[in-house]
Chain A
Amino acid sequence: EAGVTQSPTHLIKTRGQQATLRCSPISGHTSVYWYQQALGLGLQFLLWYDEGEERNRGNFPPRFSGRQFPNYSSELNVNALELEDSALYLCASSLLQSSYNEQFFGPGTRLTVL
């Protein structure tokens, strides 16, 4: 069974540009979560999508947005990039009906903003 996949592995952008990060969940999982892992800040929850809808968002500005497609894959968009957006972005998926609703993580996308 394939795990959570993310693309691209690395992304380099300049300040003010837009970045698009992609995530494919484990087959059968309907929930996708996005987390930001920035140096010194730890892992911070960004967004949660389930069944195509945004269910919850963390304390991030509106220029962080995303969507979930009918096949449950997801996209994270970051507009007007700032230097402090440089981080590892992790995507996770889960099946809400499972007893623990464990989140399984992808390998991440390293975003560097110059």
Chain B
Amino acid sequence: AQTVTQSQPEMSVQEAETVTLSCTYDTSESDYYLFWYKQPPSRQMILVIRQEAYKQQNATENRFSVNFQKAAKSFSLKISDSQLGDAAMYFCAYRSPSGGSNYKLTFGKGTLLTVNP
């Protein structure tokens, strides 16, 4: 079974600074999908960024980018120019390749990000 580990329960960053959230995972599959979700206090989970394992290029979405290291099974999220609205719980999630009955997401425990003005 796949597992996802987020080793930083809490992180803080100054507004306009850069912060990196860590995520590692364990899998024996060669192709899979990785996601970062954000859950603000309003509870609504929002997809931040996604990465498919066979794509070497790191995904980027505006101020959010990932450092995907397949051999190390690492998938960290970098937030540049942090804004107050970035404050939330961030979850790393893994999904097995398409097909069969494995469309569930396996989540890490989350990292609570505080942004200080």
Contacts and interface: CB of A to CB of B under 8 A. Distances in A.
Interface of A: 31, 33, 35, 42-43, 45, 48, 55-56, 58, 88, 90, 92, 94, 96, 100-108
A56 B102 contact: yes
B96 to A, nearest CB: 11
Contacts of B44: 105-108
B112 to A, nearest CB: 12
Q: How large is the interface on B (under 10, 10 to 19, 20 to 34, 35 or more residues)?
A: 20 to 34
Nearest to A9: B43
A53 B76 CA distance: 35
Contact of B98 (A48, A90, A101): A101
Contacts, number: 55
A42 B110 CA distance: 8
Nearest to B109: A42
Nearest to B51: A100
A107 B107 CA distance: 17
A90 B33 contact: no
Interface in B84-105: 91, 95, 98, 101-105
Contacts of B105: 33, 35, 43, 45, 92, 103
29 contacts: A31-B103, A33-B105, A42-B107, A42-B108, A43-B91, A43-B105, A43-B107, A45-B104, A48-B104, A55-B101, A56-B101, A56-B102, A56-B103, A56-B104, A58-B104, A88-B43, A90-B45, A100-B52, A101-B95, A101-B103, A102-B35, A102-B50, A104-B47, A105-B37, A105-B45, A105-B46, A107-B42, A107-B44, A108-B44
